[in-house]
C-alpha cells in the first residue's frame, strides 16, 4: 500500500517561523513611516505570540493572523518571491534536502502540512520539489485581508484530521507513513502515523519524543 511522508514546515524543514514572515511583510510596508510602525508593533507583539503559542496554537493563530488585516492580496503575492529568496531559501536546513531526497527515493509521497500562508510558501514548495502541500489561507474581501483564516485552519489536531482524510482519499497507509515536526502543537499529527519523528524539537516535544522512543533528528 502506498504511503507518504508528512512534514510540518517552519522550524522543521526551515529555521524560520511564522513571525519571520510577518516581520518581512512589516519591513516591506510601503512608506518608511508605515514600515517602521508595523515593524515596531510586530516586535512588541513577540512576547504575546510566545506566550499564546505555549498556551494554545488556536489562540496564537487568532492573534497572529489578525496582524494581516488590511493587507492587500496582490501585495502578498508580489512579495512572495522576495520572501522566498531573502528569508526562506537561506533558512532551509541542510539536512532537509537529504531527508526529502531519501524519503522520495523510497517512493513516499511528499506532503507538507503547514500553518504558514499558502501564498508565502508556494515558491519554497517549488524549490523543494513538493507538489502536495496544504497551508493556511487568509480570507480576503475585495482583495483585502480580513485577518481571519478560511477553514480548515491548519494547526494542532486539524493537521491530523486533514492527514487522515487525505490518506483515506488517496489510499495511503498511515501505518507505513512518516511525519516530521518540531513542535509539541503538532503532536496529533505525529500520533496518527506509524513512523513519527521529531526534528529540532522544542523542549516539550523532545520530552514527549523521548518518552515515546521516537527518533529525534537534527537537520541543522
Partner 1 sequence: MKPETSNVKLMALQLRRKTHESVVYIDRDSAPRIMPSGEDFILEDLPIGTRVLYPNAPIKGLPNREAAIRYALNHPHECDPLFAQLEPGMRVTIAVDDISLPLPPMATPDIRQSVLEIVLDMLSGHGVDDVHIIIANSLHRKMTEWEMKRMVGSKIFDEYYPDRYYNHDAEWADGLIKLGETKHKEPLTLNRRAAESDLLIYVNINLVPMDGGHKSVAVGLCDYESLRAHHEPQTIRDSDSYMDPARSELNHKVHRLGKIVDEQLNVFHIETAINNRMYKGDMDFLLRNEDDFTAFDRMKFEAMRYTMSKMPRPARRKLLHSRPAQYEMIACHAGKTEPVHEKIIAKAFDQYAIPVRGQCDILITGIPDISPYNVYSILNPLLVQVMGLGYHFNFYRNKPLLKKGGVLIVHHPCYDEFDHKFHPSYIEFFNRLLPETRDAFVLRDKYEQEFANNPSYIEMYRRGNAYHGAHPFFMWYWGENGRQHVGKVIAAGAENAHVPAMLGWDRADNLTEAIAMARSFMGSSAEITMLHQPIIGIADME
Helix axes 57-66, 18-27, angle to 10 degrees: 10
State yes or no: residue 216 binds partner 1 (CB under 8 A).
yes
Helix (H) or strand (E) holding 110: strand 109-117
Cα angle 67, 57, 54; round to 5: 105
Q: Choose between 149 and 217: whose C-beta lies nearer to partner 1.
A: 217
- Output phi, psi for 152, to 5 deg: -80, 140
CB-based burial of residue 53 (10 Å sphere; 0-12 exposed, 13-18 middle, 19+ buried)?
A: buried
| Of positions 66, 69, 72, 102, contacts partner 1 by CB under 8 A | 102
Closest separation between CB of residue 213 and partner 1, Å? 4
Q: Choose between 50 and 106: whose C-beta lies nearer to partner 1.
A: 106
| Of positions 99, 111, 124, 138, contacts partner 1 by CB under 8 A | 99
- Rounded Cα distance, 190 and 208, in Å: 11
Closest separation between CB of residue 197 and partner 1, Å? 4
- Annotate each residue in 40-79 with x if it binds partner 1 (CB under 8 A) or - if it does not, as one string: ----------------------------------------
| Contacts with partner 1, residue ranges (CB under 8 A) | 5, 95, 98-99, 102-103, 106, 178, 180, 195, 197, 209-210, 213, 215-220
Amino acid at each position: 500500500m502506498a504511503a507518504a511522508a508528512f512534514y510540518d514546515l517552519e522550524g522543521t524543514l526551515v529555521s524560520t517561523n511564522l513571525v519571520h514572515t510577518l516581520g518581512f511583510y512589516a519591513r516591506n510596508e510601503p512608506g518608511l513611516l508605515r514600515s517602521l510602525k508595523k515593524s515596531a508593533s510586530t516586535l512588541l507583539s513577540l512576547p504575546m505570540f510566545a506566550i499564546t503559542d505555549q498556551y494554545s496554537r488556536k489562540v496564537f493563530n487568532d492573534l497572529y493572523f489578525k496582524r494581516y488585516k488590511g493587507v492587500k492580496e496582490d501585495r502578498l503575492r508580489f512579495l512572495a518571491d522576495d520572501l522566498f529568496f531573502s528569508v526562506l531559501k537561506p533558512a532551509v536546513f541542510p539536512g532537509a534536502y537529504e531527508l526529502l531526497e531519501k524519503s522520495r527515493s523510497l517512493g513516499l509521497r511528499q506532503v507538507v502540512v503547514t500553518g504558514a500562508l499558502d501564498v508565502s510558501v508556494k515558491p519554497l514548495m517549488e524549490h523543494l520539489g513538493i507538489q502536495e502541500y496544504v497551508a493556511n489561507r487568509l480570507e480576503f474581501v475585495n482583495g483585502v485581508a480580513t485577518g481571519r483564516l478560511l477553514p480548515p485552519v491548519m494547526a494542532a489536531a486539524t493537521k491530523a484530521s486533514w492527514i487522515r482524510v487525505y490518506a483515506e482519499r488517496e489510499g495511503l497507509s498511515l501505518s507505513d507513513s512518516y511525519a516530521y515536526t518540531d513542535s509539541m502543537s503538532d503532536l496529533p499529527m505525529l500520533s496518527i502515523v506509524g513512523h513519527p519523528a521529531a526534528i529540532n524539537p522544542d523542549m516539550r516535544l523532545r520530552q514527549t519524543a523521548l518518552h515515546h522512543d521516537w527518533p529525534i533528528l537534527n537537520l541543522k
